[in-house]
Chains A and B, each alone.
Chain A
Amino acid sequence: MKLRRISAVAALSLIPAAGWSCPACMVNDPKTASTYLGMTLILSALPLILVGGLGYWFWRKQS
């Protein structure tokens, strides 16, 4: 039963040529794709920079 289930899931996974979690990120236009990538990088890094900057400022103020 378990083997049959695993085989069914494995078979289903072969059906789509590519299953992207975000279809917009894989657009044909390289400019659009790079814009998405750039914005993803900026928005991912920004909170870390803000929290890190605040922590660094505290550390400098205390030392």
Chain B
Amino acid sequence: MAAAAQASAKRVPNSVLGMIIFVATEIMFFAGLMSAHTIAKATVLGGVWPPAGQPRLPVERTAINTAILLLSGILLLIGNRRMSTQRESALRYVAAAIACGIAFVGLQGVEWFGLLREGLTMTSSSHGAFFYLIVGAHALHAVAAIIALTWVYLLMRAGKFVPSRFAATQVFWYFVVVVWPVIYLRVYL
């Protein structure tokens, strides 16, 4: 009986394994985009990036946004730690993590609106094309992760807590959180 319980604890749930494999493919996807961007940056005529006449990206404002996203990752981690002992408190942390994620996407939207008004579009230059492609791909992942996390949160609130489902959603959320600083360092700085 004890041996069976130990073996069960060692087993990785299918949903978590599937999510890890999916995240691995996503890492390759973002690595390909970052690689193309790095090469375009290195081979730009005149060696100046962003190219002349193109708006500069809001580095400071995005740094604050980056901190908000990192905070959401930390909050989710704390929520996960408390899930088995203090369920109500854990749910509050998960809700706060979702709120930080929504704030991140909202602020990104505001930033995009400003950049579009300044003339940075998908077709204005390779700078604009790479910016919207890479940051847009991340934003899509962030929105998908927020939807998944909200769904899991609502189920947990309704008393339908499935640990493997929560764990798989967390894997995806941590991916969204961890890949962003890399994008910020490569695209914005």
Contacts and interface: CB of A to CB of B under 8 A. Distances in A.
Interface residues of B, number: 14
B39 A54 contact: no
B27 interface: yes
Contact of A50 (B27, B32, B38, B43): B27
A25 to B, nearest CB: 11
A50 B24 contact: yes
A27 B42 CA distance: 12
A42 interface: yes
B28 interface: yes
Contact of B10 (A46, A47, A51, A61): A61
Given A46-B27, A50-B28, A39 B39 contact: yes
Interface in B1-45: 10, 12, 20-21, 24, 27-28, 31-32, 35, 38-39, 42-43
A13 interface: no
B26 to A, nearest CB: 11
Contacts of B28: 46-47, 50
A7 interface: no
B12 A39 contact: no
Interface string A23-34: 000010101100
Interface of B: 10, 12, 20-21, 24, 27-28, 31-32, 35, 38-39, 42-43
Given A35-B38, A46-B31, 17 more contacts: A27-B43, A31-B42, A32-B42, A35-B39, A35-B42, A35-B43, A36-B39, A38-B38, A42-B35, A43-B31, A43-B35, A50-B27, A50-B28, A51-B24, A54-B21, A58-B12, A62-B10
Interface of A: 27, 29, 31-32, 35-36, 38-39, 42-43, 46-47, 50-51, 54, 58, 61-62
